Structure 1
Amino acid sequence: MNFGLFCLSTQRDRNKTAGEVYRETADHVRVAEQAGIEIAWFAEHHFSNYCLCPSPLTMAAYMAGRTRTIKLGPAVIVAPLYEPIRMAEDIGMIDQLSEGRLVLGFGTGYQEYEFHKFGRNVKEARGKLLDTLDFVDAYLRRDVVSFQGADFSFPETTFSVRPRQSAIPVYLAGMAGDLDAQRRTFERGYTPFFTTGWNTVETVRKTRECLEKTYAEAGGDPRTMPFAIQRYVFVTDDKSAALRAADGARYVRRIAMAMRGKYGELDGAFLKEVPAADEPSLEEIAARLPIGDPDTVAERLAADIEAVNPTHVSMFMGIPGVPQQETLKSIERFGAEVMPRLTKRFGDLNRLGGAGWPTLKVA
């Protein structure tokens, strides 16, 4: 099992420029690398302050020149919005620039507002994602590629730029309840990726149990099934700072919900913060999440590990509304104080979680 840093790059402060948001994100990644966090993930969203990163591959390329060891990747590429051939070449180039540190996350996307602006139909996203995955899989595995899919075709071509890695790790989000997508995930060695939002990890336990059934049918041991989760994490001894982090988590949820429809609730590029029905109090949110002093954070993450046996935990630590210095200190303390507590409890963390994918049975 390993840890990652999830970077949403939200602009909550209207006086902060996009450049300042990017520089803060870069500092988060730099400190995460020093703290021993293994992957930096960059989100993709469009046309609002919810996320100022419309191109996570560009951000990964930028950070490749500012880091040395941390792996870099999109979480996720919203595949239906891309031209697959150009995207594949970008993947190969960035893996070379980063000296083999690229990881990949793919998803359908879910914000109808964004799809509408691109002239795309979110209801067609699943098919476009699967087509893109088929093509990218061919590109990653072969030097000479031809492709005939439902959405596009590509004549036999030798690519001049190939990834440095022989096999780039791939994570797939948003495939709960989709048996075909699950089977593709297992067949190709992808890792399923789920977020808990402001809830406890119990929200993904049932999802894992459903995946385990398909995994077992493929001949795998459910106890070793690769499985990635995402959690808000914030390390602080200050109760008021913990509540600020909980407020940031609530803010993200509120503005994300404002983009669910075709027309976002916007004031310029800023999404309106609308309270959700029956939303928990800040104190309840903080109690559900790994937020607090090192002992509290370690204990709650340990409970997550024991509940769903993840192979990867992506941590949303750059929480909007939290001052930059508090965020950097939180990341530092996670590496210096929380990880040693988890190691003391579990031993070598790399030994936790799955042990690889089986070959699917052929019906």
Structure 2
Amino acid sequence: MEFALFNLMSLNHAQETPEEVMATTIAAVQQAEALGFDATWFAEHHFTSASVCASPLMMAAHCAALTRRIRLGPAVVVLPLHHPLRVVQEVGMLNLLSGGRLNLGIGTGHQPHEFRSFGVNIAARTAILSEAWDILEQGLRTGVVNHSGVHFQIPPTPICIPGTLPPLFLAGGSPELLARAARSGATPLISQGLREAEAALPLKAKAEAGYRAGGFTGRDIPLGIQRYVFVTNDAAEQRAAAEGLLKLARTTLSLRDPVPQRDGVLMRSLPYEGEPSIEWLLERAPIGPAEKVARILAHDMRVLRPSHMSLYMGFSGLPQGQVLAALERLGRDVLPHLRRRQELALAS
């Protein structure tokens, strides 16, 4: 069981600057390494305040130079928005620069406005990713790319920095991609969102069906889950985190619209039908004292049986000091409890 720190790198309000977001992210990654996290992830999004991280590979490279042990990577490179021949070279470089600490997340993407701005047909994103995946595997494993496909035509091209393919993670729910993930040994990633563990079981079932269709026969598929957490005893911080989490949920839903409603880059917080109340989040979400957060995450682990848990806490809009203090509590008071539970489960 691996525990990772996820970095969406949002602008949570109009007063927050990209410089502040990047500084907090870098400090959080260094702190996560000191606290014993196994890995850290950086998102890729474009053109809105949902994320200032347009290049997760660039962020991973920067943080690799400031750390020594923690694994780093993109969650995910949105492959349909990139030429894979460039990605294969940058992945090779990053794996070398990080001393082999790269985890590679790839995904189809889902935000129509990004595809429109880049001039890519969103309806073809699964097929584009599949071809790009071929090119990544070929280039990293053989040091040469020679590809003739529907979306890419690449003559025999040597790669200066080949290497072994890093551990792969996939964000993309189509059955064909999940079956391929099984054949490649890649770990599917699902976002639990605001769901409690039982409500997320259909997401796992979908991933598992596709993965087993690819030939997997073990007891549990490898599975990465994304969870939003904030560890604090302070009631005001808890409410700020719950309000930030609801805003994040609203933004995430709005980004699926053909044209997201925004002012400049700043996303508007638009209520949606059936959204939870702040009081529900304060009661049910993993926001609050360490004991409560540990109990909820341990329940997630029992029900969903993930192999990888990605934890995100940068949604509160609170100043850097309060965010890093919450991360300290997460690493000091919650992760050891979860690791002990995992050891006991494996021993039983």
TM norm structure 1? 0.91
Percent identical among aligned pairs is 37
User: Residue type matched to 1:137 in 2?
Assistant: E
Using the alignment, how far apart are the partners of 2:101 and 2:248 within structure 1? 29
Please give the per-residue CA displacement for 1:184-212, whole angstroms capped at 9, x wherever unaligned: 01001110000011222334312322443
Q: Hey, what does 1:319 align to over in structure 2?
A: 315
1:261 offset after TM fit, Å? Answer: 2.3
Q: Hey, what does 2:251 align to over in structure 1?
A: 255
Using the alignment, how far apart are the partners of 1:161 and 1:195 within structure 2? 33
Q: Does 1:205 align with 2:201?
A: yes
Please give the per-residue CA displacement for 1:204-239, whole angstroms capped at 9, x wherever unaligned: 312322443444455534423100000001111123
Using the alignment, how far apart are the partners of 1:111 and 1:15 within structure 2? 25
Using the alignment, how far apart are the partners of 2:338 and 2:75 within structure 1? 25
Using the alignment, how far apart are the partners of 1:284 and 1:138 within structure 2? 48
Q: Of the candidates 223, 230, 235, which is equivalent to residue 231 of structure 2?
A: 235
Q: Hey, what does 1:180 align to over in structure 2?
A: 176
- Structure 2 residue matching 1:99: 3-state secondary structure: coil
1:30 offset after TM fit, Å? Answer: 0.9
Q: Does 1:190 align with 2:186?
A: yes
Pair 1:203–1:154, CA change in 2 (3 A) = farther
Pair 1:169–1:268, CA change in 2 (3 A) = same
1:343 offset after TM fit, Å? Answer: 3.1
Using the alignment, how far apart are the partners of 1:249 and 1:205 within structure 2? 21
Gaps of 5+ in 1: 353-363
User: Residue type matched to 1:143 in 2?
Assistant: G
1:331 offset after TM fit, Å? Answer: 1.4
Pair 1:259–1:303, CA change in 2 (3 A) = same
> Conserved in 1, the CA contact under 8 Å of 2:137 and 2:165?
no
Using the alignment, how far apart are the partners of 1:185 and 1:215 within structure 2? 7
The count of residues paired between Structure 1 and Structure 2 equals 347
Using the alignment, how far apart are the partners of 1:302 and 1:104 within structure 2? 26
> Conserved in 2, the CA contact under 8 Å of 1:140 and 1:168?
no
Using the alignment, how far apart are the partners of 2:260 and 2:165 within structure 1? 39
Gaps of 5+ in 2: none
> Conserved in 1, the CA contact under 8 Å of 2:33 and 2:69?
yes
Pair 1:36–1:271, CA change in 2 (3 A) = same
> Conserved in 2, the CA contact under 8 Å of 1:199 and 1:288?
no
Using the alignment, how far apart are the partners of 1:335 and 1:74 within structure 2? 21
User: Residue type matched to 2:311 in 1?
Assistant: M
Using the alignment, how far apart are the partners of 2:215 and 2:80 within structure 1? 31
1:316 offset after TM fit, Å? Answer: 0.7
1:158 offset after TM fit, Å? Answer: 2.4
Q: Does 1:225 align with 2:221?
A: yes
Using the alignment, how far apart are the partners of 1:26 and 1:343 within structure 2? 25
Using the alignment, how far apart are the partners of 2:327 and 2:312 within structure 1? 10
Please give the per-residue CA displacement for 1:93-124, whole angstroms capped at 9, x wherever unaligned: 01111111111111111111111111222112
Once the two structures are overlaid, the 10-residue window that deviates more, 196-205 or 86-95, is 196-205
1:76 offset after TM fit, Å? Answer: 0.9
1:347 offset after TM fit, Å? Answer: 2.0
Using the alignment, how far apart are the partners of 1:217 and 1:118 within structure 2? 33
1:81 offset after TM fit, Å? Answer: 0.6
Q: Does 1:62 align with 2:62?
A: yes
Q: Hey, what does 1:361 align to over in structure 2?
A: none
> Conserved in 2, the CA contact under 8 Å of 1:236 and 1:293?
yes
> Conserved in 2, the CA contact under 8 Å of 1:28 and 1:318?
no
1:323 offset after TM fit, Å? Answer: 2.6
Q: Does 1:15 align with 2:15?
A: yes
User: Residue type matched to 1:122 in 2?
Assistant: I
Using the alignment, how far apart are the partners of 1:119 and 1:225 within structure 2? 36
Q: Hey, what does 2:50 align to over in structure 1?
A: 50
Pair 1:143–1:202, CA change in 2 (3 A) = same
- Structure 2 residue matching 1:224: 3-state secondary structure: coil
Once the two structures are overlaid, the 10-residue window that deviates more, 83-92 or 263-272, is 263-272
Using the alignment, how far apart are the partners of 2:3 and 2:289 within structure 1? 18
User: Residue type matched to 2:196 in 1?
Assistant: T
Q: Does 1:170 align with 2:153?
A: no
User: Residue type matched to 1:107 in 2?
Assistant: G
Pair 1:60–1:242, CA change in 2 (3 A) = same
Using the alignment, how far apart are the partners of 1:81 and 1:8 within structure 2? 18
Q: Does 1:108 align with 2:108?
A: yes
Q: Hey, what does 2:135 align to over in structure 1?
A: 135
Q: Hey, what does 2:267 align to over in structure 1?
A: 271
Q: Which runs of 4+ in 1 moved over 6 A?
A: none
> Conserved in 2, the CA contact under 8 Å of 1:199 and 1:285?
no
Please give the per-residue CA displacement for 1:33-85, whole angstroms capped at 9, x wherever unaligned: 11111111101111111100011111111111111111111111111110110
User: Residue type matched to 1:97 in 2?
Assistant: L
Using the alignment, how far apart are the partners of 2:214 and 2:91 within structure 1? 29
Q: Does 1:89 align with 2:89?
A: yes
